[in-house]
Amino acid sequence: MRLATLMRLKSSEEKMITLYINGLEAKAEEGQTILDAARFYGLEIPTLCYHEGLSRFGGCRLCLVEIGQEPKSKLVSSCTYPVEEGLVVRTDTRRVIETRKMMIELMLSLAPNSKIIQDLASKFGVKQVRFKIRNEECILCGLCVRMCAEQMDGRAIGFQKRGHRRKISTPFDIRSEECRLCGGCIYICPACQLRCQGPQAETAVCNACLTMDPTCLDHYDELQCWMYDVGRCGTCVREKSEKSEKKEQTRASK
Amino acid sequence: MNIKKLDELRKDILKSRKNGKSIITICSGTGCHAYGCRKVAQAFKDEIKNQNLQDVAEVRTTGCHGFCERGPIVVIQPEGIFYQRIQLKDIKEVISKTIKEKKILDRLLYVHPQTEEKIVYEKEVPFYKEQKRIIFGNNGFVDPTEIKDYIAVNGYSAIAKVLQTMTPHGVLEEIKKSGLRGRGGAGFPTGYKWEFTSKAKGDKKYIVCNCDEGDPGAYMDRSLLEGNPHSVIEGMLIGAYAIGAKEGIIYVRAEYPLAVENITIALDQAREYNLLGKNILGTDFSFDISISKGAGAFVSGEESALLACIEGKIGIPKQRPPYPAQEGLWGKPTNINNVETWANAPMIINRGADWFSRIGTEKSKGTKIFSLVGKINNTGLVEVPMGITLREIIFDIGGGIPGGKEFKAVQTGGPSGGCIPKEKLDLPIDYESLTEAGSMMGSGGMIVMDENTCMVDVAKYFLNFLRDESCGKCLSCREGTQRMWEMVTDISEGKGKEGDLEFLMALAKATRDASMCGLGQTAANPVLSTIRYFRDEFEAHIKDKKCPAGVCTKLIQYSIMEEKCTGCLACLKVCPQGAISGELKKVHVIDPVKCIKCGACYEACNFDAIKIE
Amino acid sequence: MQPEVAEFETIIKKHPQEKKYLMPILQDIQAKFNYLPQNALIKVSEALEVPLMDVVSIATFYNIFSLTPRGKHVITICLGTACHVRGAPLVLEEFKRRLNIRVGETTEDNLFTLETVNCLGACALGPIAVIDGDYYGQMKIRKVDKLIKKFRPEKRSKAE
């Protein structure tokens, strides 16, 4: 909920809920989340899949906070958990910090080239990645899906399958008729934005976008969306042509 | 049909059945279907006709009797003569000797493995003797497609009692007093759960019966729904009345076609008899049930995911609060319970909460149905009072481990549970004790493992299951289960290294703490419990690169023991790679280079000459 | 070659044209055609006014739905815990070897599709293979070849 709206409503006769964040008595409106309440009071909780203009998802598990009292306390995602009367919230317990570090470590193993994730690693003291690097870029945070569905009313991309096979793609992995090439998905993607080379630069040339080949050039004579000046995308065209199949084979054999 | 007429109908049915006829009950659960029980039933019917004994005997195909290891099972009532492993060729004699001449056929009886005593009556078979079959017992007496059978065993008398003499509040109090806890796994006190929904604000309320039963190895709910569907319907009637719901949904998983068939028939019959629909039994209580079918996803057994599935969405669990009791199906207050929980309600109403609460332990009342499977002699479904020990179930009822092998562990709670080792065999079964031991009650799957089961392999198996079945939303669960699986797989292939176990446990804890729903939160259990009790086995894989149980293919070698080999050529013939060489009456040899460790030779050898290490 | 659109319309019309009947409709189409053809999903999306992406999300989420055509005989191996402990993985490996396909794939002659399921609830018979709805219990590695030959008698299995 936006700050301005909250201030307006606070002054009206709306029912206020009292909760305790890090020992501080906080007041929030019914229907708000712990994250809303914490942010209102200036408390910082890191997020990734949360975006003010989109519906709440709760998938990245970065915004965890510990609620309740020992021994019955548990961790919940503050961006989805609603405020409750008398709720006791702590944002930086050891359990929260250790678990958050593991989440960042998992994300790094999937998208090491994302500056946003690298920045999170630096901020929260994640100094090693003990998992095998998968370089999938996509951390399935769902921002692109929600952007496409809610802000652009496109619904061209979405989640498919489940578990470790989950992916985001267009129906049947082919060019979607609903896709209006707006580039909103690329704009909001944390793995796509501001790519970096990792801890050490090897050459003067920035190779940030090297892992993203413009697959649309396999089919068309020019780039298909306006994000070409920020970086190139690899998400909109998945039709298999001979050229792209050969490329995939070379990529797979590496 | 009203309450009085139902009572009269029951009396009429019982009277008409006092005709001295022998009832040949034939177990017709899915397991026995696979054994060919349909042909057996038909053969009995034909033979009765052949011998012109229609006035003397009749056939009744019933629900699952529970002793799945010994199917096809036939129990002749009213005596209770128990014939097991019946074959088509036996049927003529059963009719002519046992039915006509009242002579027992020894060869079809159960033989006690230690005393070698032949046991005639069902209730004396050790498998059944130690059980307390208050819920499951009726399966053997009712044909699930015949409502009259259910009425004959006092069926629908509980809902009649409720409608005539109890208020919704009274029913809630009775269920609360009984101490019944959810049988789906979490063990939440049922009476209180019903009360939440009954007190919730809303014009429309729903109740749901969860028959998703996703735990591999657990099939109690299926056998209840298949075998005695009316008991579940009656339970839901009682619940609907107490909660104030007008609509109920039974969610059955896709893999249970017979259960869907039988519950559909039962619902139609219940409606015919005015036990469902408007103005049930002539009162102003109206309630009906519809069926929703699953589509193959373990996560849809999770409450909130199940509701999403019924609504036609993907089965992704929802953040709670708000709980289903406040905002459930279609946003309305909803109460979800497991099949077995609903089936307990009629019993509690009829015999009273006091009677029920005398069974079991202080915190876990009543009985629980378990599926006893795996490396066990008497595979089947058992119903036991809470508080019985694991040892009693596995050895007294289960008959111990086949092949004289050593018991190693018993896995309870499915993929959310853990393995309990030999040292804890005397643990009394109840919700708290199992959780303390690092496992959980779960829906009731009990998988017995012996010395040839590798615990690293078991952990890998469950993690593989979980990474497939995770809905994939939470990073912690999706990536956590995937990475844990990768690590345990590496360990099982000899690629483990120092420090792996500590890292694995840290990752397991993070997965548990960060995930939103029960699947992710309990995903750590298979790993943590196997490491807790079998750490030395993990270390053997990591440090010595050996699999002591002889299971992990990359770490084992197949060889033939000279002293035991008789040169019979059996293994040679089945080897798909031609890796075995030898002549008749001469010792055979396995070429380790060609051997792909498929296990065919081990299976084929009758002399225990194949060594796996 | 995908089935005719008209055939889907009959199935779709058997249910009320509302979003909440999406699952039963997909289940019926899967039961009839043994898979969900692309044009069926498009038709369902149009008829129920549900975005195609949502229909595809649901169709790919659940195990019983297949978006690719399956073989004439679907062989399902139970990989429940009880069956696993009794040696089901070795039986599965034998099927994979004999049919020369991986789980989820169909043989070249379109005769067999190999799948797994996480529990059939007939644990006393484990390990189990289900072919065309018939249960083959107490499977042993050496029974696999014979079982396959029952459905494909003319051809010699690959591993021989």
Three-state secondary structure of B542-589: HHHCCCCCCCCHHHCCEEECCCCCCCCCHHHHHCCCCCEECCCCCCCE
Beta strand pairing call for A16-21 and A88-90: parallel
In the predicted model, is pLDDT for residue A215 greater than 80? no
Place of tokens 């009731």: B444
Tally of CB atoms within 10 A around B85: 15
In the predicted model, is pLDDT for residue C4 greater than 80? no
- Residue pLDDT, tens place only, A15-28: 899 999 999 999 99
Length of chain A: 254
Angle at B442 between CA B436 and CA B446, to 5 degrees: 95
Mean confidence (pLDDT) of chain A = 81
Mean confidence (pLDDT) of chain B = 93
Domain count for chain A: 4
**C82 phi and psi angles, rounded to 5 deg:** -65, -45
| Residue C53 in contact with partner chain A when CB distance is under 8 A | yes
Q: Per-residue confidence at B450, pLDDT binned at 50, 70, 90? A: very high
Residues A154 and A184 in one domain: yes
Q: Which of A6-10, A53-57, B429-433 has the lowest mean pLDDT?
A: A6-10
What is the fold of C73-150?
Glutaredoxin (3.40.30)
Question: For residue B321, which residues of chain A lie inside 8 Å, CB to CB?
Answer: 82, 84
- CB within 8 Å of A39: residues ≥ 6 apart: A45
Instruction: Summarize the confidence of residues A225-234 as an average pLDDT.
Output: 47
Residues A7 and A111 in one domain: no
In the predicted model, is pLDDT for residue A230 greater than 70? no
Place of tokens 């498919």: A160
* Cα R_g (chain C), whole angstroms: 18
Find out whether B403 and B113 touch, Cβ atoms under 8 Å. no
Q: Per-residue confidence at B603, pLDDT binned at 50, 70, 90? A: confident
Residues A163 and A108 in one domain: no
- Between B217 and A3, name the one with better pLDDT: B217
Residues A197 and A185 in one domain: no
Residues A25 and A85 in one domain: yes
Listed residue (B119, B117, B94, B124) closest to B109, CA to CA = B119
Tell me the residues of chain B between 471 and 500 that have a Cβ less than 8 Å away from chain C.
Answer: none
Task: Give how far Cα B118 sits from Cα of B91, B109, B529, Å.
Answer: 20, 6, 41
Checking B5-8 for CB contacts under 8 A at 24+ apart, the result is B6/B151, B6/B156, B6/B157, B6/B160, B6/B273, B6/B281, B7/B157, B7/B160
Residue A254 located in a structural domain? no
Listed residue (C156, C159, C64) closest to C117, CA to CA = C64
Place of tokens 């055609």: C33
Find out whether C100 and C107 touch, Cβ atoms under 8 Å. yes
| Residue C38 in contact with partner chain A when CB distance is under 8 A | yes
In the predicted model, is pLDDT for residue A195 greater than 70? no
- Whether residues B468 and A165 touch (CB distance < 8 A) is answered with yes
Question: For residue C84, which residues of chain B lie inside 8 Å, CB to CB?
Answer: 216, 461
Q: Which of B106-120, B413-427, B464-478, C141-155 has the lowest mean pLDDT?
A: C141-155
Q: Which residues pair with B292 in a beta bridge?
A: B251
In the predicted model, is pLDDT for residue A200 greater than 60? no
Q: Which helix (H) or strand (E) holds A41?
A: none
Task: Give how far Cα C145 sits from Cα of A32, B35, B610, C140, C153, Å.
Answer: 62, 21, 22, 10, 10
Instruction: Summarize the confidence of residues B281-300 as an average pLDDT.
Output: 94
Out of C82, C97, C141, name the one closest to residue B374 (CB).
C82
- Residue pLDDT, tens place only, C87-106: 899 999 999 999 999 999 99
Test the C interface: residue of A148, A153, A159 with most C CBs within 10 Å: A159
Q: Which of A163-177, B220-234, B457-471 has the lowest mean pLDDT?
A: A163-177
Find out whether B161 and B174 touch, Cβ atoms under 8 Å. no
Place of tokens 């953040």: B319
- Residue pLDDT, tens place only, B416-427: 999 999 999 999
State residue A10's pLDDT score: 54
Residues A199, A201, A205, A211: is their CA dihedral positive or negative? negative
Q: Per-residue confidence at A1, pLDDT binned at 50, 70, 90? A: low
Residues A50 and A155 in one domain: no
| Residue C118 in contact with partner chain A when CB distance is under 8 A | no
State residue A34's pLDDT score: 96
pTM assigned to the model: 0.89
Å from C56 to nearest chain A CA? Answer: 6
Out of A103, A132, A139, name the one closest to residue B486 (CB).
A132
Residues A81 and A14 in one domain: yes
Residue A147 located in a structural domain? yes
Test the A interface: residue of B320, B436, B483, B490 with most A CBs within 10 Å: B483
Out of B475, B483, B514, name the one closest to residue A139 (CB).
B475
- Please tell me which residue of chain B has the smallest CA distance to C19: B312
Find out whether B72 and B86 touch, Cβ atoms under 8 Å. yes
Tell me the residues of chain A between 10 and 39 that have a Cβ less than 8 Å away from chain B.
Answer: none
Question: For residue C90, which residues of chain B lie inside 8 Å, CB to CB?
Answer: 598-599
- Residue pLDDT, tens place only, B546-600: 999 999 999 999 989 888 888 888 888 888 888 888 888 888 889 888 888 888 8
State residue A79's pLDDT score: 96
Find out whether B440 and B185 touch, Cβ atoms under 8 Å. yes
* β-sheet with B81-83: strand ranges across: B57-62, B22-27, B74-77, B81-83
Distance from C-alpha of B599 to C-alpha of B576, rounded to nearest angstrom: 10
Give the domain CATH number at A38.
Answer: 3.10.20.740
Q: Mapping DSSP to helix (H, G, I), strand (E, B) and coil, where does residue B51 land? A: coil
Instruction: Summarize the confidence of residues B196-207 as an average pLDDT.
Output: 94
Q: Per-residue confidence at A199, pLDDT binned at 50, 70, 90? A: very low
| Residue A238 in contact with partner chain C when CB distance is under 8 A | no
State residue B260's pLDDT score: 94
Q: Which residues pair with C114 in a beta bridge?
A: C75
Distance from C-alpha of B311 to C-alpha of B247, rounded to nearest angstrom: 14
Q: Per-residue confidence at B441, pLDDT binned at 50, 70, 90? A: very high
| Token reading at B513 | 């703490």
Residues A161 and A118 in one domain: no
Residue A109 structural domain:
94-139+193-211
Q: Which of A77-91, B166-180, B581-595 has the lowest mean pLDDT?
A: B581-595
Q: Mapping DSSP to helix (H, G, I), strand (E, B) and coil, where does residue A19 land? A: strand
Angle at C114 between CA C108 and CA C117, to 5 degrees: 165
- Residue pLDDT, tens place only, C41-74: 999 999 999 999 999 999 999 999 999 999 989 9
Q: Where are the domains of chain C?
A: 5-61, 73-150
Task: Give how far Cα C24 sits from Cα of B19, B298, C57, Å.
Answer: 46, 18, 15
In the predicted model, is pLDDT for residue C12 greater than 70? yes
- Whether residues B380 and C124 touch (CB distance < 8 A) is answered with yes
ipTM for this prediction: 0.91
* Encoded amino acid at B360, one letter: G
Q: What is the 3-state secondary structure (H, E, C) of B8-47?
A: HHHHHHHHHCCCCCEEEEEECCHHHHHCCHHHHHHHHHHH
| Token reading at B425 | 């065999």
Tally of CB atoms within 10 A around A7: 10
Q: Per-residue confidence at C148, pLDDT binned at 50, 70, 90? A: very high
Q: Which of A29-38, B296-305, C121-130 has the lowest mean pLDDT?
A: C121-130
Q: Per-residue confidence at B359, pLDDT binned at 50, 70, 90? A: very high
Task: Give how far Cα B307 sits from Cα of B211, B350, B611, Å.
Answer: 13, 31, 51
Q: Per-residue confidence at B104, pLDDT binned at 50, 70, 90? A: very high
Residues B592, B596, B602, B605: is their CA dihedral positive or negative? negative
Residues A57 and A8 in one domain: yes
Question: For residue B472, which residues of chain A lie inside 8 Å, CB to CB?
Answer: 140, 159, 161-166
Residues A228 and A147 in one domain: no
State residue A254's pLDDT score: 47
Instruction: Summarize the confidence of residues B379-399 as an average pLDDT.
Output: 95
In the predicted model, is pLDDT for residue B207 greater than 90? yes
Q: Per-residue confidence at B152, pLDDT binned at 50, 70, 90? A: very high
State residue C1's pLDDT score: 57
Tell me the residues of chain B between 335 and 374 that have a Cβ less than 8 Å away from chain C.
Answer: 371, 373-374
| Token reading at A147 | 């952007």
Distance from C-alpha of C75 to C-alpha of C87, rounded to nearest angstrom: 17
| Residue B481 in contact with partner chain A when CB distance is under 8 A | yes
Q: Which helix (H) or strand (E) holds B284?
A: none
What is the rounded end-to-end Cα distance, in angstroms, of chain A? 47
In the predicted model, is pLDDT for residue A2 greater than 70? no
Q: Per-residue confidence at A66, pLDDT binned at 50, 70, 90? A: very high
Distance from C-alpha of B391 to C-alpha of A73, rounded to nearest angstrom: 35
- Residue pLDDT, tens place only, B510-549: 999 999 999 999 999 999 999 999 999 999 999 999 999 9
Listed residue (B396, B398, B395, B423) closest to B408, CA to CA = B423
State residue B305's pLDDT score: 95
Q: Where is mean pLDDT largest: B165-174, B208-217, B291-300?
A: B165-174
- Please tell me which residue of chain B has the smallest CA distance to C48: B312
- Whether residues C141 and B600 touch (CB distance < 8 A) is answered with yes
Å from C101 to nearest chain B CA? Answer: 16
| Token reading at B406 | 């050593």
| Chain C: partners with 3+ C-beta pairs within 8 Å | A, B
Q: Mapping DSSP to helix (H, G, I), strand (E, B) and coil, where does residue A191 land? A: coil
Q: Per-residue confidence at A229, pLDDT binned at 50, 70, 90? A: very low
Residue A251 located in a structural domain? no
Q: Which of A208-212, B341-345, C22-26, C142-146 has the lowest mean pLDDT?
A: A208-212
| Token reading at B572 | 């040679």
In the predicted model, is pLDDT for residue A13 greater than 50? yes
Residue A253 located in a structural domain? no
State residue A211's pLDDT score: 44
